[in-house]
Amino acid sequence: MNTFPVHLPQTLATVAELKGGPQFLDIHGNVVETGNLSPKIAQEPLLAETYEKLLTSRTRKTAGAFYTPLDVAEKLTEVAVLEGPVVDPACGGGIFLLSAAKRLAALGGDPKEIARNQIFGSDIDEWAVAVCRWELAHWAGIEPEEVQGVTKADPLTEKPSGWPDQFGAVIGNPPFLSQLHRTTSRTADRREELRSRYGNLLKAYTNEAWLFLAMGLELLAPQGQMLLIQPLSLIGARDASEIRKKILTEASLVGLWVDQSTVFIGHTEVCAPIVRNSLIDKKQVVRYTGRTIQEVSSVEQPSDPEDWGGLIADLMGLPSTEFTGSGQVEHKATTTAGFRQHFYGLVPGVSEQKEEEIKHPLITTAMVDPFNCLWGQKSVQFDGKKWERPVVDLNLVAEFDKAVGEWMRKRQRPKLLISTQTKVIEVVVDEKGDWVPLTPLIIVEPQEEDLWALAASLSSPIVSALAARQTAGAARSVSRITLSARQLLNLPLPSDKQALNEAIEIAQFIHKSSDRNLERSWLLFGETINRAYGTKNKDLISWWWNRHPEARKQNK
């Protein structure tokens, strides 16, 4: 087990001395005394790496302080930095800034001049700032206090004084502060502070890292380039839509690096958009992957902020999605989903079905199998208990919570239920209209005559592929489709009515069948409904079938 030294500044000063170079100064310019410590961690090539190891895991999590490996920072800098001055707005120990300084030197600059006048950075952690200054000073052969451009500040709320108006490059790896976790979610004061500066870019689930993109864009000189490492969720998350739009409308996306979990601790999937501050006519996005930042084929810049999934679809093994549609789900149905209150509001009304009792079956996500509702066929968990045939007394629900009771009553009509977080879209059909859906199921309510047409269309391989593409990166991994009720509305409907009718017949056959092996019927369904969408892509069927729950059953 590692034992970390208690006197952090003294340790940094000692390690700095061991590495040779200038004295270690705090951010006020005071020399920090060295001690007798000779920690093993001093073996790291950079002082920044030593410092990162000295942080407690809690500090690292709350500040998002996971430094970039030097080799990755160097390669990304080579791709993105074409000229100075360069800024890293969340510079940590300066791994990116050191890479940038070396890059500017390779482009012909003098190291001393670069470290004094071309390199800028900020961090809220004053010891990280001291480490960063020392790192640059050590490299350039100057004193840390001469590295004036690196300061303690929070540039999201105020631009540090002393920075130039514009930069040739903005680079770095800003903190990933997800709002889905308690340790990293912002306080009400912070929300207000950020809202006044970023307006509608700030949503409930806006990751702080995305805001650095908006701020960085304001710092760029014309033709300047920005590369900031981001969580992969930037590509598909609903609350990142405004920032994606800002990039597309105010600048150009000229590159994108994508890494699936090989670089950062905890297997965080990351990407890094490369944004140029100019509106380019012929918009190609050069793509890079993996730890070696290998260049792969380019794709066209998306025109729609909702279609960034297309930038990475093929890299994630998603099939191409050409089709001919006729209208969208919103033309035939409404969609909705309950919230927490609709989940907990059902608790007082649920009981096990007694013989002959007529009540509403409770349908949970675990009961949804494509075209087949497993109510009464498998036990499920709800409210910490196991249930065999759970039913709901809606009067009782309404007694405890009138709003939830009314909401559930309104859902008592023929409908489709769709489970979220699945590998393909899975749909069950409530023909009678008496099921009670449990959150987070999505509810689709079409006219009765369109019930099966929508069930078949939403169960098609092409619609699953489109949904996977749209939400690529939004979930932790592309292997799950995480559609919202609103996103469902935009999915396309097929244009070939005859093929659609054939597909509906097969779907109903599968629905009624008690056969154990339905592989042939499912494949026929997939081909027929694809025909209804005018898609001829053979890979699409095998992609869909490989992910289909029925195929998994056959392989067991």
Ligand X SMILES: C[S@@+](CC[C@H](N)C(=O)[O-])C[C@H]1O[C@@H](n2cnc3c(N)ncnc32)[C@H](O)[C@@H]1O
Residue nearest to ligand X (CB): 92
List the one residue from 17, 113, 143, 154 that touches ligand X (CB under 6 A). Answer: 154
The reply on whether position 8 binds ligand X by CB under 6 A is no
Shortest gap between Cβ of 62 and ligand X (angstroms)?
9
The reply on whether position 65 binds ligand X by CB under 6 A is yes
H helices within 322-361, ranges in order?
340-344
List the one residue from 80, 81, 95, 408 that touches ligand X (CB under 6 A). Answer: 95
| Backbone dihedral region for residue 520 (phi beyond 0: left; psi -120 to 50: alpha; all else: beta) | alpha
The reply on whether position 329 binds ligand X by CB under 6 A is no
Measured in whole angstroms, the distance separating CA 212 from the mean position of its chain's CA atoms is 16
List the one residue from 63, 101, 263, 441 that touches ligand X (CB under 6 A). Answer: 63
Beta carbons of 226 and 169 less than 8 angstroms apart: yes
Q: Judged by CB under 6 A, how many residues of this single chain contact ligand X?
A: 24
Length of the chain: 556
Which residue, chain included where needed, has tokens 């976790």? Answer: 181
Shortest gap between Cβ of 168 and ligand X (angstroms)?
18
Q: How far apart are CA 168 and CA 159, in angstroms?
A: 16
Single out the residue of 496, 500, 480, 493 nearest to residue 440, CA to CA: 480
List the one residue from 85, 168, 175, 370 that touches ligand X (CB under 6 A). Answer: 175
The interface region with ligand X, picked from 62-70, 218-226, 284-292, 378-386 by CB under 6 A, is: 62-70
162 by DSSP, 3-state: which?
coil
Shortest gap between Cβ of 77 and ligand X (angstroms)?
10
Helix-helix angle 538-547:461-471, to 10 degrees:
80
Judged by beta carbon, residue 292 or residue 395, the one nearer ligand X is 292
Beta carbons of 545 and 551 less than 8 angstroms apart: yes
The reply on whether position 122 binds ligand X by CB under 6 A is yes
* Single-letter code of the amino acid located at 426: E
List the one residue from 124, 373, 374, 396 that touches ligand X (CB under 6 A). Answer: 124
List the one residue from 92, 109, 310, 319 that touches ligand X (CB under 6 A). Answer: 92
What backbone torsions phi and psi does residue 326 show, to the nearest 5 degrees?
-140, 95
Shortest gap between Cβ of 52 and ligand X (angstroms)?
8
What backbone torsions phi and psi does residue 325 show, to the nearest 5 degrees?
-110, 170
Shortest gap between Cβ of 433 and ligand X (angstroms)?
51
List the one residue from 109, 172, 309, 405 that touches ligand X (CB under 6 A). Answer: 172
The reply on whether position 529 binds ligand X by CB under 6 A is no
Helix, strand, coil fractions of the chain, as percent rounded to 5 = 45, 20, 35
The interface region with ligand X, picked from 118-126, 215-223, 350-358, 423-431 by CB under 6 A, is: 118-126
Convert 516-554 into a string of H (helix), E (strand) and C (coil): CCCHHHHHHHHHHHHHHCCCCCHHHHHHHHHHCHHHHHH
Shortest gap between Cβ of 137 and ligand X (angstroms)?
17
Q: Which residues bind ligand X (CB under 6 A)?
A: 63-68, 88, 90-92, 95-96, 122-125, 128, 154-156, 172-175
